[in-house]
């Protein structure tokens, strides 16, 4: 195959058919409006019924720095991130060298040929497709800002021709989006036609990497995890929320506010039946929702790692005073400010044991936006049943990227599980109410709500107290209370979402993962099976761990724990909270900030199972001898372990 910088040349056609199985990357600058074009492309592919994923890799500044958007199409449903790009759309001159370097051999690079590429960028194994976007848009549009924005829409038109995207689908989407803005619909359609017609006239279309309609998404929706979380909170009956803005969780509250304005506002009177407060900081935010929950409201806050750090003191209060509250943590890269627009699973231990002293919390780990919706509802039920804080740990990849998930379902017969809450009638029959006694088989004592009955009044304290709620510094009385809290936490293992377990006949090892690792691990196991390595799989969905987790650990001599943090936090939690011998566990970790790839999982597992072959040399090993995959600089080493 010969590469060319001449946009008039025909595109060489490799013999391999890559229909509905390829990846492309779109390089641009933040603030240039590329998000609209990228979203248009992904939604069009979804509406063609093809499994697809989109990953937005954007900087933490407002405007100017490079941004990338990755789209993966796979007819078999393997849509975890990949760094093997068949097609690069290079629209940012500042990243040309990097973008050219990342194209797979035999791939294509689409660029703005209004200005010539430097000869040093030439690669003989890549086909360069030049389209003079700036020139075309300068001639077609009059306003400077419009020219910049429409240049990005134009490349969507070129890709429609190159990849054989259904133009009727695109036309329908433009009509939906701009039905009330005729001028915008006209300009977007014009830009699409510019790019499409130029490609049809100058290139052989479609490319061997092309799309063909399927029927794989007809019962699915396209949604991001933060929107799904907000929807779950609405359906759960949450009426109070407080937060302090922080990436990547802010859109949880943005979505919740929009939903409340639509569904929690009286149509006749305009009265709002909800309260949302932007607090001065995260500590104040969690204090507000703890107070609201103590008063009987279903209340929550959303934040990220730095916010959890600030909330710790009052989280301890809610745990010790036994106040139900839901905390949504959309994880990002730490420590400190870290990288706010990159993803990680670095808050596992922080949330499991949040606050000083002896504390243990209920933690839910959704793997996708569908579970964000259902787990948000579950979090409120668990918080009130066990009268305790419940954390739901999503991450930036799940929260801010659009995912294809099954259509959400709702049972109209659902009724919130408010736990043990005494009514006025029950209080009237009681000679005396004690807040923390008697407790039931789960270790939960009945609570009361303010204003129900004077007998139900009690003093809420975060200082030492006995089972009657009175102040104490007597060791036995203090220990009796905290021991009950430990029993309560242990009892919750039978009520939290059970781990997903998949067993394969002839499996020689086990794999445990959590949250957003799921797609990459599933794909990796399929690849390994094709190479003769079969493994069972367990995905942790909650802490405390259910009995199925201990059973899985006991049934394997080797268990590989896959997670996205440096310090093997899930592995550490398994070691602390189950009787598994540490020698059984192996660790594969990717923590550079980009979503996990199947190739990283395959490489890590093979390194353990095949004696660390020379082609895979982990950076170093930890004190237990577990390979530590230092996959931080993915662009420098194509996402592989550093030698």
Please report the pLDDT score of residue 348 as a whole number: 98
Is pTM beyond 0.85? Reply is: yes
Please report the pLDDT score of residue 148 as a whole number: 86
As assigned by CATH, the class of the 21-202 domain is: alpha beta
From CA 136, how far away is CA 129, in angstroms rounded?
15
Of the chain, the percentage scoring pLDDT greater than 70 comes to 92
Per-residue pLDDT reduced to its tens digit, 495-518: 999 999 999 999 999 999 999 999
- CB neighbour list of residue 643: distance below 8 Å, 6 or more residues apart: 617
Q: Strand 52-57: give its sheet, edge to edge.
A: 52-57, 66-74, 21-29, 85-90, 103-112, 127-131
From CA 607, how far away is CA 437, in angstroms rounded?
54
Per-residue pLDDT reduced to its tens digit, 266-290: 999 999 999 999 999 999 999 999 9
Same fold, 21-202 and 223-406: no
More confident residue, 143 or 472: 472
Per-residue pLDDT reduced to its tens digit, 405-433: 999 999 999 999 999 999 999 999 999 99
Please report the pLDDT score of residue 31 as a whole number: 77
From CA 172, how far away is CA 166, in angstroms rounded?
10
Please report the pLDDT score of residue 610 as a whole number: 81
Average pLDDT over residues 326-341: 97
Please report the pLDDT score of residue 179 as a whole number: 81
| H helix intervals, 164-274 | 167-177, 182-202, 225-236, 250-263
Indicate the CATH number of 500-637 among 1.10.287.610, 3.30.360.10, 1.20.1370.20, 3.40.50.920.
3.40.50.920
The continuous run of DSSP H or E covering 550 comes out as helix 547-554
CATH topology for 223-406? Rossmann fold (3.40.50)
User: Which structure tokens are listed for 458?
Assistant: 């009690």
Domain ranges of the chain: 21-202, 223-406, 424-494, 500-637
Q: CA 239 from chain center: how many Å?
A: 24
The continuous run of DSSP H or E covering 54 comes out as strand 52-57
β-strand partners of 243: 278
């Amino acid at each position: 195959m010969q590469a060319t910088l001449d946009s008039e040349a025909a595109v060489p056609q490799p013999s391999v058919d890559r229909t509905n199985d390829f990846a492309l990357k779109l390089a641009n600058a933040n603030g240039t409006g590329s998000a609209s074009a990228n979203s248009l492309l992904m939604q069009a592919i979804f509406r063609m019924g093809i499994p697809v994923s989109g990953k937005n890799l954007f900087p933490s500044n407002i405007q100017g720095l490079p941004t990338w958007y990755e789209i993966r199409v796979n007819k078999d449903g393997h849509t975890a991130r990949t760094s093997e790009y068949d097609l690069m759309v290079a629209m940012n001159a500042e990243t040309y060298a990097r973008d050219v370097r990342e194209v797979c051999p035999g791939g294509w690079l689409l660029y703005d040929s209004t200005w010539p590429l430097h000869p040093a960028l030439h690669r003989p194994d890549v086909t360069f497709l030049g389209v003079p976007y700036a020139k075309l848009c300068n001639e077609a549009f009059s306003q400077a800002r419009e020219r910049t924005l429409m240049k990005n829409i134009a490349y969507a038109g070129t890709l429609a021709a190159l990849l054989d995207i259904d133009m009727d689908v695109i036309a329908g989407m433009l009509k939906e989006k701009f039905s009330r803005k005729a001028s915008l619909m006209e300009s977007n359609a014009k830009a699409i036609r510019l790019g499409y017609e130029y490609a049809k006239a100058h290139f052989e279309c479609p490319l061997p990497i092309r799309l063909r309609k399927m029927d794989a998404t007809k019962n699915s929706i396209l949604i991001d995890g933060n929107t799904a979380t907000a929807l779950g909170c609405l359906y759960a009956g949450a009426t109070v929320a407080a937060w302090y803005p922080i990436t990547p969780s802010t859109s949880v509250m943005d979505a919740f506010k929009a939903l409340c304005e639509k569904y929690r506002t009286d149509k006749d009177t305009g009265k709002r039946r909800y309260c949302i407060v932007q607090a001065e900081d995260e500590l104040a935010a969690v204090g507000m929702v703890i107070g609201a929950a103590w008063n009987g409201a279903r209340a929550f806050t959303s934040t990220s790692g730095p916010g959890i750090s600030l909330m710790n003191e009052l989280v301890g209060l809610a745990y010790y005073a036994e106040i139900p509250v839901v905390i949504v943590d959309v994880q990002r890269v730490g420590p400190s400010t870290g990288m706010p627009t990159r993803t990680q699973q670095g808050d596992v231990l922080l949330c499991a044991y949040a606050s000083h002293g002896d504390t243990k919390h209920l933690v839910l780990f959704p793997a996708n936006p569908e579970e964000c919706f259902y787990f948000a509802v579950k979090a409120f039920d668990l918080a009130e049943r066990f009268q305790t804080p419940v954390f739901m740990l999503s991450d930036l990849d799940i929260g801010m990227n659009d995912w294809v998930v099954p259509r959400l379902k709702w049972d109209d017969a659902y009724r919130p599980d408010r736990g043990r809450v005494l009514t006025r009638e029950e209080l009237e029959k009681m000679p005396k109410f004690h807040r923390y006694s008697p407790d039931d088989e789960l270790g939960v004592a009945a609570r009361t709500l303010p204003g129900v009955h004077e007998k139900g009044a009690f003093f809420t304290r975060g200082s030492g107290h006995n089972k009657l709620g009175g102040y104490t510094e007597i060791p036995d009385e203090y220990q009796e209370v905290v021991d009950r809290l430990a029993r309560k936490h242990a009892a919750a293992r039978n009520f939290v979402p059970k781990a997903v377990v998949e067993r394969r006949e002839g499996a020689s090892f086990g794999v445990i993962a959590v949250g957003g690792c799921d797609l990459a691990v599933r794909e990796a196991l399929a690849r390994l099976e094709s190479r003769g390595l079969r493994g069972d799989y367990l995905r942790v969905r909650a802490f405390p761990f259910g009995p199925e987790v201990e059973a899985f650990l006991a049934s394997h001599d080797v268990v590989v724990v896959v997670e996205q943090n440096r310090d093997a936090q899930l592995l550490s939690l398994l070691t602390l909270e189950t009787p598994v011998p540490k020698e059984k566990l192996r660790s594969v970790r990717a923590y550079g900030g980009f979503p996990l790839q199947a190739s990283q999982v395959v490489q890590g597992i093979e390194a353990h199972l095949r004696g660390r072959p020379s082609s895979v040399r982990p950076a170093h090993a930890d004190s237990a001898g577990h390979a530590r995959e230092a996959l931080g600089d993915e662009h420098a080493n194509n996402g592989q372990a550093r030698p």
